[in-house]
Structure 1
Amino acid sequence: METLRIAFVYDVIYPWVKGGVEKRIHELAIRLARKHEVHIYGYKHWEGGSYLERGGVVYHGLVRPGTLYLAGKRSPFPMLSLATALRKRLPELGEYDVVDVQNLFYPGAFVLRKLPNAVLTWHEFWGSYWFRYFGPLGAAGFATENLLRPYKVHLSVSWKTQLDLLKAGVSSRVVPNGVDIKRIKRIKPAELRSDFIFVGRLMRDKNLELALGAVSTLREDFPDVVFTVVGDGPERDRLEAISRRLGLSGNVVFTGRLEGWEEVISLLKASKVFAFPSLREGFGMAVLEAMAVGVPPVVLNSPMNGAKFLVDEKSGLVLGEDKFANGLGLLLSDEGLRKKLGRNARRKAEGFDWGEIAGSFEDILLMSI
């Protein structure tokens, strides 16, 4: 098989930042590096030189990230600084066989849009949602999104995003996110047991106040209910204040950011139900990981929540806000149903093994050069 020189481009990099996009790049990169030369370009999260090598992957840190969030939203300023640095690296990037650019790093995606060896991976397509997220300032994002059409190859991480792009006149192929099934099976459950668990960055769109309200309601019938919130972010202080106001200090555990992915899986394995009230999600990596350990998810039926496409009536519940608490209560009280959905969820997740997905991604890259 032909050996490729592959570069991934995003702003933040795993493991220094542990979101879904960063994890996807990491999982694909370490597998592709077994056969190919793989590089990742983004912020310089580390001390020392501008690049380093880990697990066969070369990391290029172009600028310091500074403050990633501004008023609870991703700050555009470090992104613009990184995009400027990437513009200077266009000749270098042009020497790779393939450059996989992530659309959510919009300034960088715009800079690289005419690079002939670049493919664009769409994690979400916002369209008019830009104006709801940023108000009138969303016009810049809306325009930039439409200026990304010159990419010759477009990929989508979910069927929802593929459909959204198709409605906008852009054809793409789906290469979903995945899970490491073998590695997950080796991890033992944590000692901290939970009735409900949430995993994700604590941002406004995660809509955690809905889950906290549901726990408050369910506590009347389940006074010892435990809800574990795994993650950190700009909304943490507000959510902890809501928890205290609802009298849930003895029921809700905020773990903060966990260093190891194994810790997250361990906590998932020690939980009964995955509560995911997110309003907006490009894919829903945490939902897939919960399914992979056999924990049935309760997912919000929001128009922008791509995670709901991972779940069907045999593997979990997809509910509106008015039914969310009822769904959590049903799975908590009905052990038979919970276990049945959990078994089906695990089987469904096995179809998303990273090894298979990396192979599909590799095939597409070979066809694109």
Structure 2
Amino acid sequence: MNILIITEYFPSSEECNVKGGVEARAFYIAKNLAKNHNVYVITSWEEGLSQKDEFCGISVIRCGKQRKYSQGGSFIERLSFMNEAVKTGKKLDVDIVEGYNFITYPVAYNISKKLNIPRVATYHDVWLGGEWIKNLGFFGIFGEILERYILSKKWDKFIAVSKYTKEKLIKAGVKEKNIGVVYNGVNLEEYQKIKVPKEKNTLCYVGRLVKYKKVDDLIKSINIIKTDFPDVKLKIIGTGPEKENLGKMIKSLHLENNIEFLGFVEKHEDVLKHVKSSTIFSLPSIVEGFGMVTIESVASETPYVNSAIPPTVEITENGKGGLLFEPENVDELSLKIKMLLEDKDLYFKKQKECLELSKKYDWKKLTHDVENIYLDILGD
């Protein structure tokens, strides 16, 4: 097959230095597909990179205005990318095209119409019915309009990253037969190569610093846990609009010696080292389509304490490899963290569960599932 993947961001080399779960998925799916197929990736043109590249058997084409990595705003740059991506894609000889996020769905759709080929959308979450405004404020209304537009179009297949997302797509009017489920995954070999010692009584958070991630709840829990574990540490990896507010909270609670902002960590391997060296990983978020970092913590043999939202319950098979707490319940979050810090038998049990659960999320297996969906669509 000649396969075209459209993703807003893509790694610059085979080392896969990624900044988010979407581009990690795009890279590993593309890399494994390229072993048996011709794979093209159209992505935005980040500063310092060439417009064309080839690695891991993938032909990478970068287009639009040169830009810095950004998860929000950058409207002119994003529109430039979308426009140039459509023009570029229409010139390629491909059999199927797939979009990986909201910016790339319209691109994939327009290319498929011009070339008269099947179109696929990998879907991470559905925010219709008020979630856009709840999660992003007033400007979320534009996301609501865009999502309704995308879902109103005829797609050959949606690939949902979880059964939870699949159910939300069905509620949004997508026919069940047009939805497949392929989870996000990890490169298990990469995790096995990383050798770092565990740091005592250390927690780690990885993700954007936005309100719905509830990092403030994690900070509050550190304030509670500090009574019994004065040396408890929390490493916060990521950036976002809530950093200033979170910093003020840390100062007001006098937690400067317990909590460290590491900001944006460029190398993915370095992020994994932080996760693997931590005693516990925690994602207190109330909104996730999948929760890629949870699987990364499991693959790192670092038990988690996460909010029991539906996608997390699903991908962890109801708490294998860690503990779940009622969303936004800071007392329960604190209690579950202390349980793992205090009970060594429980901790080692959860570590063993991590090893077993991680095998389910090997990218090689998951890529085979995507390949089968493509072949089914093309009738091969």
Does the 8 A contact of 1:189 with 1:268 survive in 2?
no
Instruction: Give TM-score, length-normalised by structure 1.
Output: 0.89
Tell me the SS of whatever aligns to 1:227: strand
Matched, 1:154 2:151: no
Aligned residue number for residue 27 of structure 1: 28
Matched, 1:96 2:101: no
Tell me the SS of whatever aligns to 1:43: strand
Tell me the SS of whatever aligns to 1:177: coil
1:204-243 alignment runs, 5 A limit: 204-243=211-250
Q: In the aligned structure 2, how far is the partner of 1:309 from the partner of 1:181?
A: 20
Q: In the aligned structure 2, how far is the partner of 1:273 from the partner of 1:191?
A: 10
1:101 counterpart letter in structure 2: G
Shift of 1:360: 1.2
Aligned residue number for residue 146 of structure 2: 144
Shift of 1:69: 5.0
* CA-based RMSD: 2.4
1:152 counterpart letter in structure 2: D
Q: In the aligned structure 1, how far is the partner of 2:52 from the partner of 2:337?
A: 46
Q: In the aligned structure 1, how far is the partner of 2:319 from the partner of 2:348?
A: 14
Q: In the aligned structure 1, how far is the partner of 2:65 from the partner of 2:247?
A: 30
- Spell out, residue by residue over 1:122-177, the C-alpha distance to the aligned partner (whole angstroms, 9 max, x if none): 01111121232344543432232233241111110111101111122213110111
- Equivalent position to 2:337, from 314, 323, 328: 328
Aligned residue number for residue 318 of structure 1: 324
Q: In the aligned structure 2, how far is the partner of 1:299 from the partner of 1:113?
A: 39
1:62-81 alignment runs, 5 A limit: 62-64=63-65, 66=67, 69=70, 73-81=72-80
Q: In the aligned structure 2, how far is the partner of 1:66 from the partner of 1:183?
A: 29
Task: Indicate how the Cα distance of structure 1 residues 332 and 356 shifts in structure 2: closer, same or farther if over 3 A, else same.
Answer: same
Does the 8 A contact of 2:46 with 2:69 survive in 1?
no
Shift of 1:107: 5.0
Task: Indicate how the Cα distance of structure 1 residues 191 and 330 shifts in structure 2: closer, same or farther if over 3 A, else same.
Answer: closer
Tell me the SS of whatever aligns to 1:275: strand
- Give unpaired runs (5+ residues) of structure 2: none
Q: In the aligned structure 2, how far is the partner of 1:26 from the partner of 1:313?
A: 28
- Equivalent position to 2:314, from 286, 309, 331: 309
Aligned residue number for residue 177 of structure 1: 184
Task: Indicate how the Cα distance of structure 1 residues 243 and 62 shifts in structure 2: closer, same or farther if over 3 A, else same.
Answer: same
Matched, 1:337 2:346: yes
Q: In the aligned structure 1, how far is the partner of 2:18 from the partner of 2:190?
A: 21
Task: Indicate how the Cα distance of structure 1 residues 261 and 196 shifts in structure 2: closer, same or farther if over 3 A, else same.
Answer: same
Q: In the aligned structure 2, how far is the partner of 1:282 from the partner of 1:202?
A: 16
2:224 counterpart letter in structure 1: T
Shift of 1:201: 2.7
How many residues were matched structurally? 361
Q: In the aligned structure 2, how far is the partner of 1:357 from the partner of 1:244?
A: 44
- Equivalent position to 1:10, from 4, 7, 10: 7
Tell me the SS of whatever aligns to 1:62: strand
Shift of 1:42: 1.6
Aligned residue number for residue 255 of structure 1: 262
Aligned residue number for residue 86 of structure 1: 85
Shift of 1:220: 0.8
1:330 counterpart letter in structure 2: M
Does the 8 A contact of 1:218 with 1:329 survive in 2?
yes
Tell me the SS of whatever aligns to 1:147: helix
Does the 8 A contact of 1:331 with 1:337 survive in 2?
yes
Shift of 1:241: 3.0
Larger mean CA deviation between 197-206 and 59-68 belongs to: 59-68
Task: Indicate how the Cα distance of structure 1 residues 294 and 302 shifts in structure 2: closer, same or farther if over 3 A, else same.
Answer: same
Tell me the SS of whatever aligns to 2:90: helix
Task: Indicate how the Cα distance of structure 1 residues 319 and 110 shifts in structure 2: closer, same or farther if over 3 A, else same.
Answer: farther
1:176 counterpart letter in structure 2: Y
Does the 8 A contact of 2:17 with 2:269 survive in 1?
no
1:130 counterpart letter in structure 2: W
Q: In the aligned structure 1, how far is the partner of 2:245 from the partner of 2:197?
A: 27
1:85 counterpart letter in structure 2: E
Shift of 1:225: 0.6
Shift of 1:258: 2.2
Shift of 1:197: 1.1
Q: In the aligned structure 2, how far is the partner of 1:207 from the partner of 1:361?
A: 33
Matched, 1:351 2:355: no
Does the 8 A contact of 1:194 with 1:228 survive in 2?
no
Q: In the aligned structure 1, how far is the partner of 2:289 from the partner of 2:66?
A: 23
Task: Indicate how the Cα distance of structure 1 residues 138 and 197 shifts in structure 2: closer, same or farther if over 3 A, else same.
Answer: closer
Task: Indicate how the Cα distance of structure 1 residues 193 and 36 shifts in structure 2: closer, same or farther if over 3 A, else same.
Answer: farther
Shift of 1:48: 5.6
Does the 8 A contact of 2:17 with 2:267 survive in 1?
no
1:328 counterpart letter in structure 2: I
